[in-house]
Copies of this chain bind each other. A is one copy, B any other.
Amino acid sequence: MPGNMMRVLIVLYEGFTEYEYQIPILAFHHFGISFDTVSLETPVVTGMIGLKASLTKTLAEVDAEDYTALFLPGLDRSTREQVMQNERLIALLREFDQGKKLIAAVCGAPTLLGKAGILKGRRFCSDVQAHPVFEQAIRVQETAVQDENVITGLGARIFHFTALLIEALAGKEKAVEYQRWAGI
């Protein structure tokens, strides 16, 4: 794959928040941003309200080199601690961060970034309050925030988070178009 081609890797885990996955990918479709969705481990993943995603690949089956950005939707608190223990995902996050690749996580997913140690000294926001993994991170009262290559946002502000993601992936002009469409 050409090195200059933007391609987003999305990982779905048990308990993923369906709308926090759907709203960004509808924007990716609209703006022609390429992406692949993989499951963390199993071919079928069940979201927070029970909707099921059938995926053709798991995280183990993709080559991280093929991607320039990573997007993690939020997840149900009942599955969060278990997903945080997934060594492959945590290693992937560190690899993307070391490569200065874009990492975007919304709602509860910033805990995964915290677990990987990549929020240290960085500004972030999350719906999860007071978690040990956030101890060395700088929480900000924003709807969504970018600090270097890391974007985080609140689930109830998914359109704001998506706008910031579109800005990072496709430029300011597309982000403004998106904001206009979303009325934000």
Bound-complex Cα distance A71 to B50 (A): 19
- Interface pair A52/B49, CB less than 8 Å apart: no
Bound-complex Cα distance A49 to B27 (A): 12
Bound-complex Cα distance A21 to B21 (A): 14
Instruction: For A97, list chain B residues within 8 Å (CB).
Output: none
Total identical chains = 2
Q: Classify the interface of chain A: helix, strand, loop or mixed.
A: helix
- Interface pair B50/A26, CB less than 8 Å apart: no
Q: In the complex, what residue of chain B is closest to A23 when comparing beta carbons?
A: B19
Bitwise, A34-49 to B at CB < 8 A (1) or not (0) is 0000000000000111
Bitwise, A8-21 to B at CB < 8 A (1) or not (0) is 00000000001101
Q: Does A25 contact B (CB under 8 A)?
A: yes
A157 touches which of B18, B22, B183 (Cβ 8 Å): B183
- Interface pair B23/A49, CB less than 8 Å apart: no
A19 touches which of B22, B53, B54 (Cβ 8 Å): B22
- Interface pair B143/A156, CB less than 8 Å apart: no
Instruction: For A181, list chain B residues within 8 Å (CB).
Output: 156
Instruction: For A19, list chain B residues within 8 Å (CB).
Output: 18-19, 22-23
Q: In the complex, what residue of chain B is closest to A29 when comparing beta carbons?
A: B49
Q: In the complex, what residue of chain B is closest to A154 when comparing beta carbons?
A: B183
Instruction: For A51, list chain B residues within 8 Å (CB).
Output: 18, 22, 47, 51-53
Bound-complex Cα distance A64 to B47 (A): 29
If A18-B18, A18-B19, A156-B181 touch, does A25 touch B49 (CB 8 Å cutoff)? Answer: yes
Q: Does A182 contact B (CB under 8 A)?
A: yes
Instruction: For A52, list chain B residues within 8 Å (CB).
Output: 51-54
Q: Which residues of A pack against B, CB within 8 Å? A: 18-19, 21-23, 25-26, 47-54, 143, 156-157, 159, 181-183
